[in-house]
Amino acid sequence: MDTVTAFAQHRQEFGTPIATATIDANRTLAVTATYLLSEEGRKSSLLAGGDGRAVQELTVQVPTNRLPLVSVDANGVARQRLRPRYEMNGEQQVVRIDAPPTYDSPPEIEDLFREAARNHQLERAFETDRRSAKARRREADRERRTRLANAFLNDPAQRALVHPPPTSKRCYLATERVSRRSLVSSRVSRATRTTSMRAFRSRPTGLTVGTSTL
């Protein structure tokens, strides 16, 4: 009998025994597959003796070598990776669709496996693109804050907003954006640290926070 053995890594210098887990390659996991039927598909389902419902669920036996095509939620429910669905749009970008695939006729089991495999690959591409976009937005925001800080330092007439009151670590500056203020934190760059210190030192004295008394 073919087996796949996974070894849990431990620090052997402490004398901890190495635990092993053996998975029978011939075993299968009962997984729920959910898909949709179009109107044509519902007609085909009725003609074939099915229930003709738009939302179809069936139990699929998935072998261990196809477990990457399965997701298991916190409640231990195993589902084939058919929802959410990932597609390429007209701009060749992967988009997420919160619905399972739709078929014009009841699909074969292998059709569901192929769809789950394609969906799994596109999901990985989607997550990679999302992380990259998040990193680009974070870098663009850091550069914007740095530009604001440099402009503040080069104009002695500028003052930080009095509310929230500036501190030695952060301050708010008026900007062209709708919010009319932008946080400049000392954690961003050396320029913003200098900005926060200058704003803190030049803050109005005798200001009572929460009132208009000066």
Confidence at residue 157, expressed as pLDDT on a 0 to 100 scale: 84
Residue 60 has pLDDT above 60, yes or no: yes
Residue 68 has pLDDT above 90, yes or no: yes
What's the mean pLDDT in 35-43?
Answer: 97
What the block records as the tokens of 43 is 């007609």
pTM: 0.62
Beta pairing partners, 185: 170
Q: Which of 59, 70, 67 is nearest to 109 (CA)?
A: 59
Angle CA(98)–CA(65)–CA(114) in degrees, nearest 5? 40
Beta pairing partners, 172: 183
| Secondary structure element (H or E) that encloses residue 157, with its range | none
Q: pLDDT band for position 183 (50/70/90)?
A: low
Residue, of 59 and 163, whose pLDDT is higher: 59
> Which percentage of the chain shows pLDDT scores above 90?
52
Average pLDDT, the chain: 79
What the block records as the tokens of 33 is 């597959």
Distances in whole angstroms, Cα of residue 185 to Cα of each of 82, 85, 138, 163 = 43, 39, 14, 15
CA end-to-end distance (rounded Å), the chain: 84
Respond yes or no on whether the N-terminal peptide bond of residue 100 is cis (omega within 30° of 0). Answer: no
Q: pLDDT band for position 82 (50/70/90)?
A: very high
For residues 35 and 103, the answer to whether their CB atoms sit within 8 Å is yes
Confidence at residue 98, expressed as pLDDT on a 0 to 100 scale: 95
Q: Which of 70, 126, 75, 65 is nearest to 98 (CA)?
A: 126
Q: How far apart are CA 70 and CA 48, in angstroms?
A: 28
Angle CA(180)–CA(131)–CA(72) in degrees, nearest 5? 125
Q: pLDDT band for position 200 (50/70/90)?
A: low
Q: How far apart are CA 119 and CA 97, in angstroms?
A: 11
Residue 164 has pLDDT above 70, yes or no: yes
Confidence at residue 3, expressed as pLDDT on a 0 to 100 scale: 41
Which stretches within the chain are classed as H helix?
39-47, 109-153, 190-201
Q: How far apart are CA 193 and CA 167, in angstroms?
A: 10
Residue, of 180 and 121, whose pLDDT is higher: 121
Q: pLDDT band for position 189 (50/70/90)?
A: low
Which of 110-114, 123-127, 204-208 shows the lowest mean pLDDT across its residues? Answer: 204-208
Residue, of 82 and 10, whose pLDDT is higher: 82
